């Protein structure tokens, strides 16, 4: 992977607060609700997708036969 292909992670202003609500009628922790809300942000979703693809590629390349 070349450094030019690496995405810049999203940066949010200092003190940024995420407004999230837990789902009604089912159990959901505050952490799960926060992550669900964060993934609604397109820049975070793209960053996490890129990281997951890179992680899968690295694991595949480092496995010993």
Total tally of structural domains belonging to the chain: 1
Q: Is residue 31 part of a domain?
A: yes
Q: Is residue 34 part of a domain?
A: yes
Q: Is residue 33 part of a domain?
A: yes
Q: Which band of pLDDT confidence, cut at 50, 70 and 90, is reported for residue 25?
A: very high
pTM: 0.59
Residue 38: HSE in the Cβ half-sphere, 13 Å Cα cutoff: 15
Average pLDDT estimate for 42-54: 83
Q: Is residue 4 part of a domain?
A: no
Looking up tokens 């997708």 gives 49
Tokens of 61: 């390349």
Q: Is residue 8 part of a domain?
A: no
Q: Which band of pLDDT confidence, cut at 50, 70 and 90, is reported for residue 61?
A: low
Apex 15 CA angle, 13 and 16, nearest 5 = 60
Residue 37 scores a pLDDT above 80:
yes
Q: Is residue 37 part of a domain?
A: yes
Residue 27 scores a pLDDT above 90:
yes
Range of the domain at 32: 22-65
Q: Is residue 11 part of a domain?
A: no
Are the C-beta atoms of residues 46 and 7 closer than 8 Å to each other? yes
Q: Is residue 54 part of a domain?
A: yes
Residue 6 scores a pLDDT above 80:
no
């Amino acid at each position: 992977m070349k450094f030019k292909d690496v995405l810049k992670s999203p940066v949010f202003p200092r003190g940024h607060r995420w407004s999230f609500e837990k789902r009604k009628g089912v159990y959901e922790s505050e952490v799960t609700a926060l992550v669900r809300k964060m993934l609604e942000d397109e820049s975070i979703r793209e960053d996490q997708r890129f990281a997951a693809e890179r992680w899968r590629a690295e694991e595949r390349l480092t496995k010993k036969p």
